[in-house]
Amino acid sequence: MMAKSPHQNILGKISYILFRTRWGGSLTVIALLTFWEFGSTFKLFHPVYIPKVTDIAQALYNVTVSGELPAHYTITLFRMSAGYCISVIIGVPCGLMIGYNRAVFNLTEPLIELCRPTPVSAVIPIVILLLGVGNEMKIFIVAWASFWPILVNVIDGVHGVDRTLMETARVFGATSWELFKKIILQAASPHIVTGMRVSIAISLIVTVIAEMLAGNNGIGFFVLDAERTFRIPEMYAGVFSLAVIGYLVNRIFVLLESSIMAWHKGLTSKEPK
């Protein structure tokens, strides 16, 4: 066989980095931000409405050091966490019960399918009327929006349990509690985790929307207030920070999922050929 030339080796390494590691995605983000910086500097687009990345970074540093941004994020993350925890605490048991009991499923399925597709923006005016514009309203809206993905995924997970396996366990004398704990809960756990992962992103999105529509604090209010007062770099700084926070929240959840669900990944991983 012919030995590869140095140029081929270099191209192979570059190809590996770009397409088979996370560095490729990071380089894509860096390239886009570089284009943004030069595009604003050389006025390829309006520098007032789309300021330089360095100006946005400076604004982000200023509002962080001053404590303004951390103060807003403390409030936002509290609302998000409270609403999300409520949705998990209610959604998982309800999903297990509805999925396991056919009679309960038949009674609740039409109501679920009516409520689940309802846009959260349509629910906000009703909740404001009933709860006002304080934390209660925002937490309720987050819990409402986060509840449905968890509920539906848990129900689907329970419905997906192998019925033959359940009947076999009954034949061998498994009690209802043992059947639930050792078969249904374990079999449905991947769907439960999936619903929780989808909902955690929804909870952040809905928190920001609620703060924009009816709030005087929180990161959603900060972004909208910066736009209204024409503090454009600060507005972009808030949006950039949201992207980073959303990414970090997702990564933390993925790491926890990998630890908790290691047994499932071990069972489903394919043997190397």
Judge whether 154 and 192 are in contact, CB under 8 Å: yes
* 113 within domain boundaries: yes
For residue 16, name the pLDDT band (cuts at 50, 70, 90): low
Read off the pLDDT of residues 208-261 as tens digits, 9 standing for 90 and up: 999 998 888 999 999 999 999 999 999 999 999 999 999 999 999 988 887 776
Residue 59: which CATH number?
1.10.3720.10
Together in a domain, 115 and 18: no
Q: Name the domain count of the chain.
A: 2
pLDDT digits (tens, 9 = 90+) for 37-92: 999 988 888 888 999 999 999 999 999 999 999 999 999 999 999 999 999 999 99
Q: Encoding tokens for residue 245?
A: 């926070």
pTM as predicted: 0.84
- 125 and 193, same domain (yes or no): yes
State the DSSP string of 55-112.
HHHHHHHHHHHTTHHHHHHHHHHHHHHHHHHHHHHHHHHHHHHHHH-HHHHHHHHHHH
Share of the chain above pLDDT 90, in %: 58
Asked if 176 and 62 sit in the same domain, the reply is yes
pLDDT of the residue at 139: 95
Q: Identify whether 3 is part of a domain.
A: no
The answer to whether residue 271 sits within a structural domain is no
Is residue 17 domain-shared with residue 127, that is, in the same domain?
Answer: no
The answer on 33 and 124 residing in a single domain is no
Q: What is the mean pLDDT of residues 84-113?
A: 93
Residues 137 and 30 placed together within one structural domain of the fold: no
Cβ(203)–Cβ(83) under 8 Å?
yes
Structure tokens at 233: 């770099």
Helix, strand and coil in the chain, % to nearest 5: 80, 0, 20
Q: What is the pLDDT of residue 168?
A: 78
Q: How many whole angstroms separate alpha carbon 170 and alpha carbon 198?
A: 34
User: Which amino acid is present at 229?
Assistant: T
Q: Is 37 in the same domain as 119?
A: no
Distance CA 30, CA 216 (A): 34
Asked if residue 215 belongs to a domain, the reply is: yes
Together in a domain, 112 and 35: no
Q: What is the pLDDT of residue 159?
A: 87
> What does the pLDDT average to over 118-125?
89
Residue 206 lies in a domain: yes
Give the H or E element holding residue 133: none
**Enclosing domain of residue 229:** 53-264
| pLDDT at residue number 68 | 94
- Whether 84 and 121 map to the same domain: the answer is yes
Tell me the C-alpha distance between 182 and 175, whole Å: 10
| Residue 1 included in any domain | no
Kindly state whether residue 259 falls inside one of the protein's structural domains: yes
Residues 149 and 249 in one domain: yes
